[in-house]
Amino acid sequence: MSDIDRRLLLQGAAVTGLVALAPGALRAATRPPRLAPASVQRAVQDQLPATIERIQKWIRQPSVSSTGFGIADCCKLTMELLREAGFQTVKRMPTTRHPGIFATLDAGARRTLGLYFMYDVQPVEEKEWSSPPWKAALVDLPEVGKVIMGRGAVNQKGPQGAFLSALHAIRAAHEKLPVNLVLVAEGEEEQGSTHFHEVVRRSEVVRALRRSMGVVMPSAEQNLNGSVEVTLGAKGILYVEIEASGKAWGRGPTSRDVHSSLAAVVDSPVWRLVEALQTLRSKDGNEPAIDGLAENVRPTSDADKKLFDALAKSVDEAEMKKSLTVDRWVGDLGERAMLERLGSRPSINIDGIFAGYTGEGSKTILPERAVAKVDIRLVPDLTADDVMAKLRKHLDRRGYKDLAIRRIGGYDPTQTRLDARLVQAQIGLYRARKLDVTVRPRAAGSWPGYLFTTAPVGVAAGHYGMGYGDRAHSKDEYYVVEPPAGARFAGLAGAVTSYADYLYTLASG
């Protein structure tokens, strides 16, 4: 459910410069950021083998939140990694399902940074991988160099492991950590963070997070050409299973599949699901046609329109299409319209559908049930709760009261201001490294930033980090350790250093 997968959108994008930087963004950029001392930079280099091993160890401990595979052990391992990195209190936070973690590091500093980690990963189809997903092998890839390949490599164990290495390096250099840290982690990010509010909204956690400048998730933010994007917000998501069954319907077979010859006289829950799904989507794209949803979609502001104009200039559409293996956009949109739609319109998608016999060849049955997995992406001012209620009402009004809707995950849209310290420090650092920076008003993907940006916490939230990786949610996911000569993106040492630099910059001024 993660998505930081803006890389999916922009891989290889040729960013043409600072075109997307609104005037406000330049304010901080004019104040030079403060880089980590040379001693820290040397320690990062010295400890690189240990950094690689730490990330490998983390990946080798599976943690598939959808099935629970390895979750308990990975929670324990993550807590160990935090203690080793210097966190003084590290608490397991039980939730209704997978446990979260709350950890603090008091460095006696003036400012506090919030951190958001996830320790869970997406499921895998092992046989599809060219290197086993839990092996975390070092693999050479022609275009991007030496990588760690494995499930969770870039989403999110690699970048998080690099962040922890920044703390190790500062300690090894006998430097004082420039900011205090408050960390929350969860094991259900890929499941829509269903129970993460049970961690974040506990009073001790709220108190601690409110004291922070904002909450950041370590991430590999660079594109292949080295450019970065600063994303101010993200869509929300509602993920549901919709099930038609003879039992709930009172028509069709109510407790077992029957022979398919009976279709002449027996109703089919599969046809019912197909028919109901069809009412949920606009004909001209993958936009929800759920009653009353469109009226809550906030029109794109003039400020955002300008950011989209700039974005269109910086994105290499051909590269983006190639990376996605897509020849045409919905409705044959042009690049500018596509980018605005991606950032500002809700979408409805069938992530999976299944019923009856799905093996080889034929089996003649009329199935008793059919299920679709559906996700709806939310923009302001849609909320997951509201869309869930509207979906129910939409189906009920059309006579589909029998269709079960099971909420698997959901969160609201999140938004942070361009002038937030968290954001300004990022832009300053990227500029100091001579990277092209683009500002995107809203990512199409989703993450639970709304838990930080809305009450009762109400601080800034975003992602940060140099480095490169790809194929989150797909086979052969990887995170780059050592780019080929001439590469314009940072390797693992550069990523670790970027986190150390960030801590010093946030503390300064």
Footprint of a second copy on 366-385 (CB under 8 A): 366-368, 370-371, 373, 375, 377
Strand 443-446 and strand 180-186: the pairing is unpaired
Q: 47 or 156, CB closer to a second copy?
A: 156
For 147-172, b/e burial (b = at least 16 CB within 10 A) is: bbbbbbbbbbbbbbbbbbbbbbbbeb
8 Å CB contact between 129 and 150:
no
Q: 37 or 123, CB closer to a second copy?
A: 123
Report whether the peptide linkage leading into residue 381 is cis, meaning its omega lies within 30 degrees of zero. Answer: yes
Q: 30 or 358, CB closer to a second copy?
A: 358
As measured in angstroms, the least distance from the Cβ of 474 to a second copy is: 7
Phi-psi region of 68 (alpha: psi -120 to 50; beta: other; left: phi over 0): left
Q: 363 or 401, CB closer to a second copy?
A: 363
Question: Which residues, numbered 110-139, are part of the site for a second copy (CB under 8 A)?
Answer: 122-123
With CB under 8 A as the contact rule, the residue among 264, 299, 302, 434 that binds a second copy is 264
With CB under 8 A as the contact rule, the residue among 17, 46, 50, 66 that binds a second copy is 66
Could you give phi then psi for residue 451, rounded to 5 degrees? -65, -25
Question: Which residues, numbered 203-262, are part of the site for a second copy (CB under 8 A)?
Answer: 235, 237, 239, 246, 250-262
With CB under 8 A as the contact rule, the residue among 326, 381, 417, 458 that binds a second copy is 326
Binding mask 405-424 for a second copy (x = CB under 8 A): ---xx---------------
As measured in angstroms, the least distance from the Cβ of 442 to a second copy is: 11
As measured in angstroms, the least distance from the Cβ of 216 to a second copy is: 21
With CB under 8 A as the contact rule, the residue among 204, 324, 385, 458 that binds a second copy is 324
Q: 30 or 325, CB closer to a second copy?
A: 325
Report whether the peptide linkage leading into residue 156 is cis, meaning its omega lies within 30 degrees of zero. Answer: yes
8 Å CB contact between 177 and 502:
no
Measure the CA–CA gap between 202 and 179, rounded to whole angstroms.
23
Q: 108 or 361, CB closer to a second copy?
A: 361
8 Å CB contact between 405 and 388:
yes
- What residue has token string 């759920």? 290
Which residue type is seen at 452? F
Q: 138 or 337, CB closer to a second copy?
A: 337
Query: DSSP per residue over 357-403, as a string?
Result: --SSS---EE-SEEEEEEEEEE-TT--HHHHHHHHHHHHHHTT-TTS
Q: 252 or 483, CB closer to a second copy?
A: 252
Measure the CA–CA gap between 40 and 155, rounded to whole angstroms.
26
Q: 106 or 275, CB closer to a second copy?
A: 275
Please report whether residue 271 would count as binding a second copy according to CB under 8 A: yes
Question: Which residues, numbered 440-479, are part of the site for a second copy (CB under 8 A)?
Answer: 443-446, 472-474
Sort 422 into a burial class: Cβ within 10 Å, 0-12 / 13-18 / 19+.
buried
With CB under 8 A as the contact rule, the residue among 31, 354, 381, 397 that binds a second copy is 354
With CB under 8 A as the contact rule, the residue among 342, 403, 451, 503 that binds a second copy is 342
Q: Which stretch binds a second copy (CB under 8 A): 46-54, 162-170, 216-224, 362-370?
A: 362-370
List Cα–Cα distances, 483 to 225, 263, 336, 450, in angstroms.
12, 59, 32, 34
Question: Which residues, numbered 280-309, are part of the site for a second copy (CB under 8 A)?
Answer: 281, 285-287
With CB under 8 A as the contact rule, the residue among 45, 88, 278, 301 that binds a second copy is 278
Question: Which residues, numbered 72-111, are part of the site for a second copy (CB under 8 A)?
Answer: none
Please report whether residue 500 would count as binding a second copy according to CB under 8 A: no
Measure the CA–CA gap between 104 and 114, rounded to whole angstroms.
9
Q: 264 or 485, CB closer to a second copy?
A: 264
If residue 248 lies in a helix (H) or strand (E), which one and from where to where? helix 246-249
